[in-house]
């Protein structure tokens, strides 16, 4: 089987790499500046990222998107993970995929152009990663609905311009698009471990229009896509961790010689290299999986990569000593980003449960 990227995929990869190089420059100053903003990311970077076409990746050509493949998504997210990009690309891609499935081209246009941020608000306090555990309600009101309930752990929910809200109604579970500052929407933003701005969102008789026309089955398909994206981003971050640590142990001297000369360090770095390559194999396998097996493969890949990424990150911290966990080095930033990604749409246990049930 040929694992080489196509010409279009190589060009897309190069465009995202240029974005990372131009906007982040290989150091932490740009990331710190982006995280220090109230939104937790740079608006200028967001518009520049939109110019690369990344935000249009999951959308169909009919709705102004690129109709990207799973391999396209893998390529982009690995580069962004390796660059420790602060912008909420994963969250935006989930919204893009849902709005595209609903045929909501008008709502998609500003998101794809980088003029707005749309995110999904679905998780609830008692759900424990179960997608169909929705207690928020939608009741008829005039030509539309009124939404009531509370959503938690809405990643990028603090700065979002519009929110896709799930709620239960007479027809099952539906999705509605509401403005982030609509009457009755109470957002309580807070910082996650990686510095991004999430939110708990309470909805009290929020007036909404007709449902988007998608159901829980569509969300399941989008979650599989998000799991692949999260796994690929973690792969990029753990690759960065390995390469940075390898360079460090070759140059850091103890007892008159480089750390890398000690056999125990060599063994630890060899184990980390094996984990990176095994994680890469899992991500590639998921990206190339046939559609019928994709959700299962993506769940298994994310669960495996999360555990492997934690091991590599902890090795990197230990090799760097106490300063490895601080914000002075990218090691700490990458570890915290991996921690957030590992819990996105289910921890490793939830992913393995889905993998088992689909067998």
pLDDT < 50 stretches in the chain: none
pLDDT for res 2: 67
Residue pointed to by tokens 């590992």: 342
Let me know: does 345 contact 230? Beta carbons within 8 Å.
yes
Q: What is the pLDDT of residue 37?
A: 97
Tens digits of residue pLDDT in 176-207? 999 999 999 999 999 999 999 999 999 999 99
Residue with tokens 């759900």: 127
Asked if 120 contacts 98 with a C-beta cutoff of 8 angstroms, the reply is yes
Domains of the chain: 7-116 (1.10.540.10), 119-214 (2.40.110.10), 217-357 (1.20.140.10)
Q: Take residue 196 and report the two structure tokens written for it.
A: 């991004």
Report the distance separating Cα 240 and Cα 245, nearest Å: 8
What pLDDT is stored for residue 246 in this prediction?
95
Q: Does residue 61 contact residue 219 with C-beta atoms inside 8 Å?
A: no
Stated as kind and residue range, the H or E segment containing 334 is helix 330-343
Question: How open is the CA angle 334-339-345, to the nearest 5 degrees?
Answer: 130
The bridge status of strand 162-169 relative to strand 172-179 is antiparallel
pLDDT at residue 174, as a whole number: 97
Beta strands in the chain (DSSP E): 118-121, 137-141, 144-154, 162-169, 172-179, 185-191, 197-208, 253-254, 257-258
Q: What is the pLDDT of residue 261?
A: 80
Is pTM beyond 0.85? Reply is yes
């Amino acid at each position: 089987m040929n694992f080489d990227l196509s010409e279009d995929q190589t060009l897309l990869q190069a465009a995202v790499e240029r974005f990372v190089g131009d906007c982040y420059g290989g150091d932490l100053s740009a990331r710190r500046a982006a995280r220090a903003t109230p939104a937790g990311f740079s608006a200028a970077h967001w518009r520049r990222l939109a110019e690369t076409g990344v935000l249009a990746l999951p959308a169909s050509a009919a709705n102004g998107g690129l109709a990207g493949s799973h391999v396209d998504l893998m390529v982009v997210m690995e580069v962004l993970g390796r660059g420790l990009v602060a912008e909420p690309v994963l969250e935006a891609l989930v919204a893009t995929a849902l709005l595209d499935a609903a045929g909501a081209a008008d709502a998609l246009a500003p998101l794809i152009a980088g003029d707005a941020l749309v995110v999904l608000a679905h998780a609830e306090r008692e759900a424990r990663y179960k997608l169909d555990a929705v207690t928020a309600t939608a009741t008829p009101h005039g030509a539309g609905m009124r939404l009531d309930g509370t959503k938690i752990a809405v990643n990028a929910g603090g700065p979002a311009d519009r929110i896709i809200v799930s709620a239960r109604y007479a027809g099952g579970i539906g999705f509605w698009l509401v403005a982030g500052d609509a009457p009755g929407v109470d957002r309580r933003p807070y910082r996650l471990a990686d510095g991004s701005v999430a939110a708990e969102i309470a909805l009290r008789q929020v007036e909404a229009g007709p449902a988007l026309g998608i159901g829980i089955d569509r969300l399941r398909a989008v979650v599989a896509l998000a799991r692949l994206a999260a796994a690929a981003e973690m792969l990029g971050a753990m690759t960065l961790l390995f390469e940075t640590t390898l360079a460090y142990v070759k140059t850091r001297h103890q007892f008159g010689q480089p750390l890398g000369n000690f056999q125990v360090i060599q063994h630890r770095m060899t184990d980390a290299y094996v984990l990176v390559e095994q994680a890469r194999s899992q991500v590639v396998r998921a990206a190339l999986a046939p559609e019928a097996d994709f959700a299962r493969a993506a769940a298994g890949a994310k669960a495996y990569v999360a555990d492997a990424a934690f091991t590599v990150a902890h090795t990197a911290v230990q090799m760097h000593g106490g300063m490895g966990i601080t914000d002075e080095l990218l090691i700490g930033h990458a570890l915290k980003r991996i921690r957030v990604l590992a819990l996105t749409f289910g921890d490793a246990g939830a992913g393995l449960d889905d993998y088992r049930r689909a067998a």
